Structure 1
C-alpha cells in the first residue's frame, strides 16, 4: 500500500510534468484536479453528502431513468452478491441518486461516500471513477492510489457512462469496494459487468422512450442479436435517426467518419446516410426472416446483423376537427393530422398555467404559436415578448426587471417598469431563451420561484403573476450538458414542450403557401402559383422556414404581371435549377430535388407528395443517374 506521503509526492511530480506508471486516464485526471479544480493533494477531504432537500431534487429529476435502471441494478447486484460490492447510480452532476449495498456496512459506506446522496464530481472529490467517467465519457476503473484524495485511496471504483437517447451523458453506474486486492486487473470483471449493465439500461431506456418508432438493434454475431444486442438506434416514420444508445452512436459516427461525441451530426439524419438501406427495408429485418439473413452494411463497409422492431400502435384518440380548435390556434395550420394534434395539445395547455417550451428552427413561427396560446388562455393581462438574443447584455437586466429613478447613470428620472412586470396577469414570452446570459438566468429563476421582481436599484420586491412561454431554436437539453444553461431553470421552463416542424417537413406546405399568398394579394387580385414555380418551391429546403417563404412570395408578388407567380418571378437560387433543357421542367426539377436529398428516393417522394415507385419511374424516364 502506498503511504500518504509517497502518494502526495507522486501527484506533485505529475504536476511538474514527470512521467509515472499510472494509466493515462489517471494522469489526465490528476492534472485537471491540480490545474482546473485547484485541489490540494495535501488536504484530505471527507466524503460530501448533499443535504436531504437537495437530494430530493436530484432524485426527482432522475426519477424516470432510475425507474428504468432499477431492474438492471438489482440484476448486477445479485451477480456480485457476497463480494462486498456497492452499486451507485449518479446523475450527470455526480450525485448518487440510487444505491445498493449491504446494510451491515452502512456506517462505513456512508463515511467512505459510497452512499445515497454522495457527490462524486471531480471538482468536489478529486480523481474518482464517477468524476473521471463524467469528464471522459468512457468506462474506467480508479483503483486505490489512483484516487487523488488520500481519503479515498483504500477504495476501488469502476464506472461506466449511461447516455440518453439524444446522445448526451445522463448518468454514471459505479461499482465499488471498500477494500480490494492490490492488483488493478482484479477489477477487470467488474469493468465488464458494469459496462454491460449500462448498455442494457440504455437499450431499455431507448425502447421505453421510442416505442412508437422503429428500433434497429445490432450485433456482430447472429446468435446474440435477438437476446443481447450490442447497440440500437430508433428511426421515425420519415427514416430519420431520432434516438440511439451510445453503441449505436459509435456505429453511426464510424460509418461516416464523424465524432460520436457530437450527436448533432447524427440525430435527425436519414438512416440511408449511415447504412445501405431505406426505411422501406426495415420490415425485411424483423423476425420474419432468419437471423443469419438480417445483415446490413454501413457506409464504411462494416457488416452488422440487425433486428428491426416495428413501432407499437398508438391508442386511437378521438378525432379532433378544426372546429374544435380555438380560432387563434386554428389559423396556424391546415387539416393534416399532425398539425391538428399539435393545435389540440396547445389548446389544452393554453387553459393551464404550466410553463411551455416551444422548440423549432428559426422562422418556424414560434412567436405566433406563443401569442395564439396566450389568446386562448383567458388571461386578462398583456402578451409581452422578449427576444433574449436581441437585447444588449448590458441592458437586459434593466429591460427585464425595470429600475428605480436614478438607479444608474442615464436612467429615467421617473424610473421604468420592466418587461416582466408589464406582463403581470398575462403571458411573458421569452424568445431565444437559450441565448440568455447565465447571470440573468439566475435572476429569472428567482422570479419564477418566488413570483416577485426586484427592480434595479430597488430594495422591496414587487409581486407578479405571469404565465411563462419560452422558445429556442437551440436544443436546451444539450446546452445544459455543456454548462451553458442552468439545469434548474430548464426544468422550470420545460413543464410541457411543443415542437414546431421545419417547413420542409410540414405536411400542410400548400396550406401555408396559400395563407401567405392571401396575405400578399393586392386589392381584389388573388395570387396563384404556376405548376413549374410550385415544383420549385417544393424542391427548396427552406432553411429560413416560413419567414423565408414569406419573403420569397413578397418579392414574387411584386414582380408578377398578372397575379400568377412564375419561375421567372422567384429568386435566382430557387428558379435557376429548374431552367429549361432537354429534360424539360419536370426532369430538371427532379434532378435538382434528387441532388438536394443526396439521392434519397424516399425523401424526394415525401417532399413531392408522390409514391417512391413514381419517383423511380421518372428517374428511368428522364435517364437520370447519380453523379451525372
Structure 2
C-alpha cells in the first residue's frame, strides 16, 4: 500500500527532475501543480462543491450541450451498470454540470467530489482526470496515486474532452470509481467507452447545428461508416469547412499540415485544401452509391471511406408566413418570395443561441433586423445596442465591460455596469463591429469564449448569459485578410450570417414605401404617391438605402398639397425630378408658409418636417426663399 509520505516524496523527486515510473502526462501535471498552481502535496485539497446559485449559472451556460449529451451519458451509464462507475459531465471550467451515479452511494460520492457541482479544475483539485484533460485537451486516465493530492488517491478516473463544432474545448466527460483494481490497465475499457461516447456526442452536436448544410462523415472501415463513423465535418454551399468533430479536426490538420489546436486555421477553409474533393462531388458520396465505392483521399495521402449527408430540405418559406414567423420578423418586409425566404431564415435562427452576423449597406436596416431577431428569440432580457463606430476608442472598453468604483480618474464612485452585463439573458447588438479596435476584439473574444466579463479595475470575473448579434457594412472577411479584424473572433461571430439586400435590390420596394408613409401620416391620413412620383423613386439608386428613403418621404409629405405626393414634392437629386425653377412657385411657397408660421425659426421648421436644420437651409437656398419685411 502506497503511504501518504511515500507519495509526497515521489512528488518531491519529480520536482527535482528525477525520473519516476509515472506516465509523462502525470509528471507534467504534477509539475504544473507545483510551479503554476502553487499547490502543496502535504496540504489536503478536499473536494469542493459549488454553492447552488453558482452551480445554476454553470448549468445554464451549458444547457444546450447537456441536452444533446444526455442520451449518450445514459447509454454509457447502462453499459457500465453494476460496476459502481460514476459519470461526470464537466464544463470547460471543471465544474460538474451533469452527474449519473448510484443514489445509494450519494454521501460517499459527494464526499469524494464525484457529484453534481464538484469542481475538478487542476488549480483547485491538483492532478485529476478532468483537470488534466482540460489542460492537455486529450483523453487520459488518472489512476489512484497518479492524483497529486492524497485525498483523491483511492479514485480511478478516466476523462475525454468534448469539442464544439468550431474546434474549441466545450466540456469533459469523466467516468470514475471510488475504488478500483491496482493496475491502471484495468481502466482501458473505460477509456474506450468514454472516447466512443464523446465521439457520438460531438457528432450529434454537429448534426444538430448544421442540419441545413452538407455533413461529411468518415471511417477507416466501410462496414461501420453508416452506423458508427469516426469523424465528421460540415461544409457550406460554397465548399468551406464550417464545423467539425474533434476527429474531423485531426483529419483536416494532418491533411493540411496544420495543428488541430489552432482550429481557426481549419474553419472557413475550402474543403479542397484538405481533401481531393470539391463541393460538387459531395452528391457522389451519398447512400445512393455502395459504401465501398465512397472513398476519398486526403492531401496527405490518407484514404478514408466517406458518407455525405445532404442538407435537410427546409419547408417552403411561404408555409411560415401565417404560422411560425413571429410578428416582429414579419414586419421586416413584404410577401415576395425572396423576402419571405429571408423571414423564414431569421425566424429559425432567432430561436437558437447562435451568434448572428448581419452584413448590409449603411441604412439598409441592420439594427431593425437585429431587434426583430431579439423579439423573435423568446429571451427574457433586454435588447442592448452599441455602435462601435460612434463611441470614442478610449471609452468603448468601459462602455462594454463596465468599471469598478474608482477604476480611473473621473470614474463614478459607485462604478458602472457595462453594456455586456446589461444585456444579461437578452441580446447585445454590436453595430459596425468592423470598427472595433483590435485590443477590444481580444477582450470580446474572451467574453464569448469564457461567458464571463471582467470590469475595468475588477479582479473577479462575472458570469454573463447573452446572445450576440453583430453587424457591419463592410465584408468582415476582407478586414480579416487585411489584418484589421481577428480571424478567431470573426468565426465566433458569424456562426450564422444574414445578408440584407440594399434598397435598390429589394423586391418589396413598394411595400417599404407604404410602411414609411404610414410613419409620416399627416393628421391621421396616409399620403399616397402619384404614379410619376413612384416612378422617380424606383429609378433612384438609393445609396443611403431605407434611411435615405425615410428622409426623402418625410420632406415630401411635409411639402405635399393634400394627400398625394407629386414629383414636385421630391428632391431634385432624384433622376427626372422637376428642377427648382419649376418647383419654386409650388413647393417653395409651401416651405415659405411653414417658415413664416414658425417666425423663421429654422430649428422649429426642421422639427415639424422631421429633418435636420441643414436640409431646411438647403431648401431655402434651392428655392431662393427670404423673409418678407
Check 1:519–1:210 CA distance in 2 against 1; reply closer, same or farther (3 A cut).
closer
* Corresponding residue of 1:425: none
| Residue in structure 1 matched with residue 511 of structure 2 by the alignment | none
Q: 1:307 to 1:48 in 2, by over 3 A?
A: same
Query: Partners in 2 of 1:61 and 1:169 — Cα distance?
Result: 14
Structure 2 CA distance for partners of 1:399 and 1:60, relative to 1, 3 Å: closer
81-90 vs 62-71, greater mean Cα deviation = 62-71
Alignment TM-score, normalising by the size of structure 1: 0.64
Counting only pairs closer than 5 Å after superposition, residues 473-512 of structure 1 correspond to structure 2 as: 479-480=446-447, 486=453, 492-494=465-467
**Do 1:156 and 1:180's aligned partners in 2 also have CA atoms closer than 8 Å?**
yes
Tell me which of 394, 397, 418 is aligned to 1:392: 394
2:211–2:312 contact (8 Å) kept in structure 1:
yes
1:257 — aligned with what?
257
Q: What residue is the counterpart of 1:18 in the other structure? A: 18
d(CA) in 1 for partners of 2:24, 2:374: 61
Task: Give the distance between the partners of 1:308 and 1:47, measured in 2 at CA.
Answer: 46
| 499-508 or 30-39: bigger deviation | 499-508
Report the 3-state secondary structure (helix = DSSP H, G, I; strand = E; otherwise coil) of the residue aligned with 1:222.
Answer: coil
Say which SS state the counterpart of residue 114 (structure 1) adopts. coil
Matches of 2:174 and 2:374 in 1, distance apart?
Answer: 50
Q: Distance in 2 between matches of 1:29 and 1:270?
A: 37
User: Counterparts of 1:106 and 1:377 in 2: how far apart (Å)?
Assistant: 44
What secondary structure is seen at the aligned counterpart in 2 of 1:84?
A: coil
Give the structure 2 partner of residue 594 of structure 1. none
How far has the Cα of 1:209 moved from its partner? 1.6
User: SS at the partner of 1:172?
Assistant: strand
| Structure 1 residue 2 displacement after superposition | 1.9
Query: 1:370 and 1:34, CA in 2 relative to 1: closer, same or farther beyond 3 A?
Result: farther
Aligned to 2:85: 85
Q: 1:517 to 1:9 in 2, by over 3 A?
A: farther
Is 2:357 the partner of 1:359?
A: yes
Using the alignment, how far apart are the partners of 1:407 and 1:196 within structure 2?
49
Structure 1 position 510, deviation (Å): 11
2:117 is the counterpart of 1:144: no
Partner secondary structure for residue 54 of structure 2: helix
Q: Distance in 2 between matches of 1:64 and 1:378?
A: 19
Q: Relative to structure 2, which stretch is displaced further, 466-475 or 251-260?
A: 466-475
State the distance in 1 between where 2:540 and 2:348 align.
Answer: 27
Partner residue in 1 for 2:34: 34
Closer/same/farther in 2, CA of residues 299 and 232 from structure 1, 3 Å limit = same
The aligned runs of 1:581-620 (5 Å cut-off) are none
Normalising by structure 2, report the TM-score.
0.64
Alpha-carbon contact 1:445-1:489 (below 8 Å) kept: no
- Listed one character per residue, the Cα deviations across residues 336-363 of structure 1 (whole Å, up to 9, x for unaligned) are 94x765577779999x9x9996536xx8
Query: 2-side partners of 1:490 and 1:515: how far apart?
Result: 52
Q: Which structure has the larger Rg?
A: 2
Partner Cα separation in structure 2 for residue 494 and residue 382 of structure 1 = 10
Matches for 1:391-540 after TM superposition, within 5 Å: 391-392=393-394, 396-397=397-398, 443-444=418-419, 447-448=422-423, 468-471=428-431, 472=433, 479-480=446-447, 486=453, 492-494=465-467, 519=543
1: CA distance, partners of 2:159 / 2:78: 18
Structure 2 CA distance for partners of 1:48 and 1:327, relative to 1, 3 Å: closer
Q: Secondary structure at the match of 2:72?
A: helix
Cα distance, 1:159–1:63 mapped onto 2, change above 3 Å? same
- Cα deviations across residues 541-583 of structure 1 (Å, max 9, x unaligned)? xxxxxxxxxxxxxxxxxxxxxxxxxxxxxxxxxxxxxxxxxxx
In 2: Cα distance, 1:17 partner to 1:336 partner: 70
Q: Give the 3-state SS of the residue equivalent to 2:205 in structure 1.
A: helix
CA change 1:14–1:279 in 2 (3 A) is same
User: Does the CA-based 8 Å contact 2:360-2:502 persist in structure 1?
Assistant: no
Indicate the SS of the match to 1:224.
coil
Structure 1: give runs of 5+ residues left out of the alignment.
419-438, 451-465, 527-628
C-alpha distance 484-398 of structure 1, shift in aligned 2 (>3 A): closer
What residue number does 1:94 align with? 94
Report the alpha carbon displacement of residue 196 of structure 1 after superposing the two structures with TM: 1.0
SS at match of 1:221: coil
Q: Secondary structure at the match of 1:227?
A: coil
Pair 1:376–1:169, CA change in 2 (3 A): closer
2:293 maps to 293
After TM superposition, give the deviation of residue 378 of structure 1 in Å: 14
Contact 2:61–2:465 under 8 Å retained in 1: no
Alignment partners' CA distance in 1, 2:268 and 2:83: 44
Query: Partner residue of 1:270?
Result: 270
Greater shift in the superposed pair: 144-153 or 474-483: 474-483
Q: Secondary structure at the match of 1:392?
A: helix
SS in 1 for 2:185: helix
CA–CA distance in 2 between the matches of 1:355 and 1:196?
27
CA–CA distance in 2 between the matches of 1:85 and 1:355?
33
Whole-angstrom distance in 1 between the partners of 2:217 and 2:427: 43
Aligned equivalents of 1:2, 1:100: Cα separation in 2: 30
Counterparts in 2 of 1:390 and 1:335: CA distance versus 1, 3 Å? farther
Contact 2:361–2:502 at 8 Å: present in 1 too? no
1:102 Cα deviation after fit: 1.4
The answer to whether the aligner puts 1:131 opposite 2:124 as a matched pair is no
RMSD over aligned CA atoms reads 4.8
Partner of 2:220: 220
